[in-house]
Amino acid sequence: MKIFNTLTHKVEEFVPNVPGKVNMYTCGPTVYHYAHIGNLRTYIMEDVLEKYMRYTGLDVKRVMNITDVGHLTSDGDTGDDKMLKGAKREHKTVMEIAKFYTDAFFDDCKKLNIKTPDVVAPATGCIGEFIKVISALIEKGYAYEAGGNIYFDTSKLKEYYVFHSFNEEDLEVGVREGVEEDTNKRNKADFVLWFTKSKFDDQELKWDSPWGVGYPGWHIECSCISMKNLGEYLDIHCGGVDNIFPHHTNEIAQSEAFLGHKWCNYWFHVHHLNTNDGKMSKSKGEFLTVSLLESKGYDPLVYRFFCLQSHYRKSLMFTWENLDNAKTAFDKLISKIAALENESDKGAVDEECLENVLKARFKEQMDSDINTANGLTVLYDVLRANASAATKLAAIEDFDRVFSLDLIAKAKKAAQEQKDSAADIPKEVMALVEERKAARKAKDFAKADELRDKITSLGYAVKETRQGTEITKI
Ligand code: AMP
Ligand code: ZN
């Protein structure tokens, strides 16, 4: 399997540290509000990556954090505390907010068939670990105390900007207009590991530490939660592209300074879902959530299908029209699979064709940097293939272990509905339909038209589709 590695800027063969086993880490949500469907694009594509790894036989252990402390409104060390903002907005405690939106996040994931990682760890549950790692960083000379806070000293590293070569002068993380620069920092790129001199006098969550009562910076949680659960060597780390800098850059800085060796080999980043009108931002009133899609009558899996239609390394434009197009394509796909389900003689599974033709094509696409867009087109190849219905259905079920679109269950339901609606049609109409089919077969189109008129006069419409004859009540 080949994937694009943000660290090397290349598509590379994926080789885990221990053959057959994968240690995978995912940056989890900041639980101060509902996840927007942009966030969920990232989790859908990471879910596909995990499931495809499992599909190829790899034994994956995946760990995710929940950010319930320390994330400021900028990704650097400025702005308000996001959790505190959420709590104030809803007149609740930070922990109430965290619980509510963590549950909401997993409800959304369930609706989108996103598997829950093997380990899910809230940052507030690992404070002891953070203190241990920060203490070691101070001891090794990688961190310093200034103005009451503990900072990571980026000048101590051979290379800090591991993902890109930034110009120091261009670095404006968290330094926005109207926000004062932190004069405690020795270097512009230094970042907070532990806050004691809080800008937020009303900070609810505080812990005792060797440096005074305070709370952790945002980045330390991912390093610590990963190392605690997955050990010193991480195979793959995932997130959205906005996480590359400063978050993942800082994670690498502190983890490798602590460990004294390379930490993670592959970095997988999902590009953003965008809108024309900024509806993706959680800070703006009505933003795009799974519940909003549902309230407008969309099945959440239509959104999953929409995401799979594009490569994860391309930014994706969300419009209602684009979602409608995805819905139409998804419904058509289901009805084609339903037609296979309704075939009276499905035949036997041709193992040779299934393994060496159909699955091989699917693997070829997915091995090529998780190309879900092409992977989905293999489904259409399957539908057109010169193979029995049983073989086709077996291939679709197999690919859906990765796509997770409930293709077979939905098709079975649609097939039953097709049958039920056929059962409602009076015998007299069905007899005319059969007669018309025979006339068409005999190329007697005048008679076929005459029969169609008779059927219409009895209150039914008859139409030929690629799935066969469709009869509906007028
Ligand atoms: P957050 O809850 O802000 O910590 O973000 C959760 C995840 O969503 C992170 O992996 C982000 O990189 C990712 N993310 C944020 N905005 C978008 C977006 N518009 N499209 C895709 N992923 C995003
Ligand atoms: Zn993280």
Average pLDDT over residues 32-49: 97
Closest-CA residue to 348 (of 381, 409, 380, 394): 394
Query: CA quadruple 258, 199, 64, 188: dihedral positive or negative?
Result: negative
Give me the pLDDT at residue 177, please: 45
Give me the pLDDT at residue 116, please: 98
> How far are the Cα atoms of 51, 75, 154, 282, 452 from residue 278, in angstroms, in the given order?
31, 18, 34, 10, 51
pLDDT digits (tens, 9 = 90+) for 241-299: 999 999 999 999 999 999 999 999 999 999 999 998 877 877 666 789 999 999 999 99
Average pLDDT over residues 169-193: 70
pLDDT digits (tens, 9 = 90+) for 417-473: 888 777 788 889 989 998 998 999 899 999 999 999 999 999 999 888 766 678 888
Q: Provide the residue type at 177 as one letter.
A: E
pLDDT digits (tens, 9 = 90+) for 388-428: 999 999 999 999 999 999 999 999 999 998 887 777 888 89
Give percent of the chain above pLDDT 70: 94
pLDDT digits (tens, 9 = 90+) for 139-154: 999 999 999 899 999 9
Mean per-residue pLDDT over the chain, rounded:
92
* Nearest listed ligand to the Cα of residue 312: 1
Report whether pLDDT(308) > 50. Answer: yes
Helix (H) or strand (E) holding 224: helix 220-230
Three-state SS at 5:
strand
C-alpha–C-alpha distance, residues 89 and 80, integer Å: 13
pTM of the model: 0.89
What secondary structure does DSSP assign to 396-463, as a single string? HHHHHHHH---HHHHHHHHHHHHHHHHHTS-HHHHHHHHHHHHHHHTT-HHHHHHHHHHHHHTTEEEE
CA dihedral 154, 28, 260, 206 (to 10 degrees): 70
Structure tokens at 380: 């259409």
* Nearest listed ligand to the Cα of residue 242: 1
C-alpha–C-alpha distance, residues 316 and 30, integer Å: 22
Give the confidence band of 223 by pLDDT, cuts at 50, 70, 90. very high
Cβ 113 vs Cβ 406: under 8 Å: yes
Report whether pLDDT(178) > 60. Answer: no
The response to whether residue 342 sits with its C-beta less than 6 Å from ligand 1 reads no
Say what angle helices 220-230 and 127-139 make with each other, to 10 degrees.
100
Q: Tell me, in angstroms, the distance from the centre of ligand 1 to residue 54's CA.
A: 24
The response to whether residue 86 sits with its C-beta less than 6 Å from ligand 1 reads no
Give me the pLDDT at residue 103, please: 98
Give the confidence band of 174 by pLDDT, cuts at 50, 70, 90. very low
Give me the pLDDT at residue 283, please: 67
Average pLDDT over residues 311-330: 97
Give me the pLDDT at residue 200, please: 62
Average pLDDT over residues 25-45: 96
Q: Tell me, in angstroms, the distance from the centre of ligand 1 to residue 468's CA.
A: 44
Cβ 16 vs Cβ 58: under 8 Å: yes
Query: From the alpha carbon of 28, which atom of ligand 1 is closest?
Result: 6
Give the confidence band of 100 by pLDDT, cuts at 50, 70, 90. very high
Give me the pLDDT at residue 82, please: 85
Report whether pLDDT(362) > 90. Answer: yes
Our mutation pick for probing the ligand 1 site, out of 39, 275, 306, 311, counting the most ligand atoms within 8 A of Cβ, is 39
Average pLDDT over residues 30-37: 94
Give me the pLDDT at residue 79, please: 73
Backbone φ, ψ for residue 258 (5° rounding): -70, -45
Report whether pLDDT(326) > 90. Answer: yes
* Nearest listed ligand to the Cα of residue 31: 1
Name the residues around ion ligand 2, CB cutoff 5 A.
27, 222
Report whether pLDDT(176) > 50. Answer: no
Give me the pLDDT at residue 199, please: 60
